[in-house]
Amino acid sequence: MRQEPLGSRLASRLGLPFIEGDDLHPAANVARMREGLPLDDEMRKPWFENVAAALRAQQKGSVASCSALKRSYRSTLSAGGPIFFIHPEVDEVRLVEQMTMRQHFMPVTLPESQLQTLEPLDAREWGRTVSGILPLAQQVDQITSGWRAGSARCQCTNQSVMISPV
């Protein structure tokens, strides 16, 4: 699901480039999702490789959107450097509304599979869960404060922020 409003606003606030993860899907993945079929882990692998490469290409960090629904996905993505994961928490109704507004290539029948796949952030992961129903400015404020606090603790110089859309 495209996260441009939150992602671009957050990138602007942090002074980092924004990477739209959906633009990095292999064509076969997009075709499959357009047919209403969910991706399995093997199909997601080249997409995560593309996202990870895009993150590594940014010397000073970036903000990216990517459905990093499982801990194993997030572990793969963060292997190349520190990533602050954002989980905007929304229910299926809100998720479908957002997809419809953004004219996402994935049909509205797939959010249920994403919600079933989702493994929430745990205490060992660097990140933050925010309410996706809060006004956008409040979401950005919460994310920014969490990211800055974490960055100061780890003294990272090249961090990325990943928005997981579910």
Question: CA angle at residue 58 from 145 to 40, to 5 degrees?
Answer: 85
pLDDT given at position 25: 94
Quick check: helix, strand or coil at residue 149? Answer: helix
Q: Whole-prediction pTM value?
A: 0.79
Q: Which residue has the tokens 């399995």?
A: 40
pLDDT given at position 91: 66
pLDDT given at position 54: 93
pLDDT given at position 67: 85
CATH code of the domain containing 85: 3.40.50.300
| Parent domain of 8 | 4-163
pLDDT given at position 102: 60
pLDDT given at position 108: 56
Burial class (CB in 10 A: 0-12, 13-18, 19+), 81: middle
Burial class (CB in 10 A: 0-12, 13-18, 19+), 15: exposed
Give the total residue count for the chain: 166
Q: What are phi and psi of 136, to 5 degrees?
A: -55, -45
pLDDT given at position 164: 56
Number of domains in the chain: 1
| pLDDT digits (tens), the chain, 166 positions | 444 588 889 999 988 899 999 899 999 999 998 888 888 899 999 999 999 999 889 888 889 988 888 999 999 888 878 888 888 887 666 666 666 666 555 655 556 667 777 888 888 888 888 888 888 899 999 998 887 776 655 444 455 666 555 4
